[in-house]
């Protein structure tokens, strides 16, 4: 493997472990071992464990941002239906990973926001960027008269993302998708004022 | 101090540290040191670190449950106003602790639900019990005609608690109470169907 490929293998192995057991609880040696990379070579790829953690955040962000773009910017689908597809994808993930993961960015936020200003700032940027995908899709729903003209799309987008994060957390604890379904139902039935 | 007092001092010191840096990242020696209890005596008070973690959960649960009871079962205040008081108390906490804590039960859920079935089960019980405080207050709001007769109070209570947890998480990351205010505003303006 090239240096870049090995680095990417470490990021992917690290994401998997960190998603399940957290950043502080993940040892560098476990990541090397999971990726099949020789011990002692970690610092050839990353300047510090923090540098590694930021690379894991950026990797997850890139992948999730692409999913948001695929689902919420799909102009072949009506805007509100795109949100249904987004919720369905999250529900399928929760079951596929057997309630073991949740959202890596949500997990790291919970764990690290109060501990480390560099992580907090990066995670804040990620959430803000994701929120803008919701804003744009809601704007398209408004333009298509699927929601009322006076809808405050920024407020709604923020509540949608944060409420969904909370529902994912509760689903992990309950080992049930019910909290996510309940949230999605309430989103469509109540939060969208002036919906047709 | 009596054995019970020392045990309680360890729980309180542990809660403080765990709320800021997580359970896995909290060492037994740091807890003993913060509580001013001699090193080596931890296992006189707790059979294991897990046993200690469960005691911390129960302690936080008891305190928060009392707050929920005080605020949401206060029959001298109109039911919906009680929710305003509840949101206000959470906002004040977030500022008082300088965005450093969030909700201990939310934090531990994020960290431990997928790792440890004993913790997951206990945290699930806590969330379910808290949800019932919201259900009862919403039932009183319905009886007082503050919300419509067809409101699904279980669905709403679950979304209220989970959405609030998500808003608290986002507030920590943003170092701003705005996500909490936005959620509370949307709760009152949209989620309560048939509100007078």
**Residue holding tokens 């102009």?**
A75
Cβ-nearest to B191 among A161, A175, A191: A191
Chain B residues 13-52 with a CB less than 8 Å from chain A: 20-22, 24-25
pLDDT at B111 over 60: yes
| Angle (nearest 5°) at CA A194 between A188 and A196 | 70
- pLDDT, tens digit, 9 for 90 and up, residues B133-143: 999 999 999 99
DSSP state of A144: T
What DSSP string runs through B100-155?
Answer: S---HHHHHHHHHTTT-HHHHHHHHHHHHHHHHHHHHHHHHHHHTTSS-TT--HHH
- Tell me the C-alpha to C-alpha distance, in Å, between residue A67 and each of A89, A130, B168: 9, 10, 25
State the best of B22, B120, B161, B166 to mutate against chain A, taking most chain A CBs within 10 Å: B166
On the CB side of A3, how many CA atoms lie within 13 Å of its CA?
6
**What's this model's pTM, rounded to 2 decimal places?**
0.93
Q: Does B185 touch chain A (CB under 8 A)?
A: yes
φ, ψ of residue A149 in degrees (nearest 5): -70, -20
pLDDT one digit per residue (tens) for chain A, 196 residues: 899 999 999 999 999 999 888 898 899 999 999 999 998 889 999 999 999 999 999 999 999 999 999 999 999 999 999 999 999 999 999 999 999 887 899 989 988 998 899 999 999 999 999 999 999 999 999 999 999 998 899 999 999 999 999 999 999 999 999 999 999 999 998 888 755 4
Q: Does A67 touch chain B (CB under 8 A)?
A: no
Q: Could you give the ipTM of this predicted complex?
A: 0.93
Q: Do A159 and B156 touch (CB under 8 A)?
A: no
**Residue holding tokens 């969208």?**
A192
Q: What is the pLDDT of residue A21?
A: 83
The chain B residue lying nearest A118, using CA atoms, is B173
**Distance between CA atoms of B61 and B67, rounded to whole angstroms?**
10
């Amino acid at each position: 493997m090239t240096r870049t490929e090995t680095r990417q293998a470490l990021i992917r192995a690290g994401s998997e472990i960190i998603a399940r057991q957290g950043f502080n609880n993940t040892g560098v040696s476990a990541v090397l071992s999971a990726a099949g990379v020789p011990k002692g070579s970690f610092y050839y790829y990353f300047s510090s464990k923090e540098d590694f953690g930021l690379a894991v955040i950026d990797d997850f962000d890139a992948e999730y941002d692409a999913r948001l773009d695929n689902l919420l910017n799909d102009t072949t689908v009506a805007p509100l239906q795109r949100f249904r597809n987004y919720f369905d994808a999250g529900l399928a993930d929760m079951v596929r990973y057997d309630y073991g993961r949740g959202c890596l960015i949500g997990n790291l936020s919970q764990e690290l926001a109060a501990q480390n200003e560099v992580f907090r700032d990066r995670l804040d940027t990620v959430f803000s960027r994701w929120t803008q995908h919701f804003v744009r899709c809601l704007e398209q729903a408004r333009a298509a008269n699927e929601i009322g003209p006076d809808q405050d799309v920024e407020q709604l987008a923020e509540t949608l993302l944060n409420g969904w994060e909370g529902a994912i957390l509760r689903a992990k604890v309950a080992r049930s998708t019910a909290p996510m379904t309940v949230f999605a139902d309430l989103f469509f039935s109540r939060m969208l004022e002036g919906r047709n």
